[in-house]
Amino acid sequence: MNVKTHQRLLLTGAAGGLGQALRTRLKANCEILRLSDRVDPGQAAAHEECVIADLADADAVNAMVQGVDAIVHMGGVSVEGAFAPILQANILGVFNLYEAARKNGVKRVVFASSNHVTGFYRQCETITTDRPARPDGLYGVSKAFGEDLSRFYFDRYGIETACVRIGSSFAEPRDRRMLATWLSFDDLHRLISACLSTPVLGHTIIFGMSDNSATWWDNAQARHVGYVAKDSSDTFREAVFARTAAPDLSDPAVQFQGGAFVRTGPFE
């Protein structure tokens, strides 16, 4: 059951794929949902506010955060690529966000981290959230930076953060790798709702995954959040196997948890 825990909730990256999936769902968590992106997220509904802001613009981010009670930060670059845009959106941008939270007294953030923070662990391993980061690219490095920065802002300023290492959040798994990493849109919302409503969040890292039989991640250390997945990639297993070839075990994308991200680049 969702509880309207906040008066005004900020969703960044509202025009992106996951932002759009969360937009209708997060109205259950607040009275007013403020939507932000660097592009127009579309016409606001009666319970919504829309703000256009570039995460690299500190003044715009500060204005975006004013008056909100909590932040669901989905904004930024979400794929591997050249360093310059990742630097602006995911490194400078997340610093601007936490500085704005500090200045405006916001004490809880749900930060969209990524499984690519640990992408160079092997698919034959099961890891916990206290294992060292092993990013599989510049995107993963930027998310590892965000996790470290959020830890600093918790230790020094008391801003609680859930770093959600999102696996593969789509309507359904697209390939065999996603049978282990899949996170349904509804489970994503359940996870964010749990992070927003748990009485004491602290600084918590949690893997964003549904209740998949095959998994590389152990979420036992985040049980205090209260997240219980209700969907599973198992529903799609037979169809995924039928339409995909057997994996090539010599392919790094099959060997490592990061999949194809481990072999992208170099970048100009």
Helices in 112-258 by DSSP H: which ranges?
Answer: 138-157, 178-181, 185-197, 237-243, 252-255
Pull the structure tokens for residue 168.
Answer: 């593969």
Give the active site residues.
139
Look-up: residue for tokens 């008391």?
Answer: 158
Cross-strand bridge partners of residue 8: 32
> In whole angstroms, what is the distance from residue 90 CA to residue 139 CA?
8
Give the dihedral of Cα atoms 126, 130, 134, 135; nearest 10 deg: 100
Alpha helices in 87-197 (DSSP H): 93-104, 138-157, 178-181, 185-197
Q: Which residue has the tokens 């980061």?
A: 133
Measured in degrees and rounded to the nearest 5, phi and psi for residue 59 equal -65, -40
Residue whose pair of structure tokens reads 């995460």 in the numeric block: 55
Strand 6-12 and strand 70-73: the pairing is parallel
How many residues in the chain? Answer: 268
Strand 217-218 to 203-208 pairing? unpaired
3-state secondary structure of 179: helix
d(CA 112, CA 44): 23
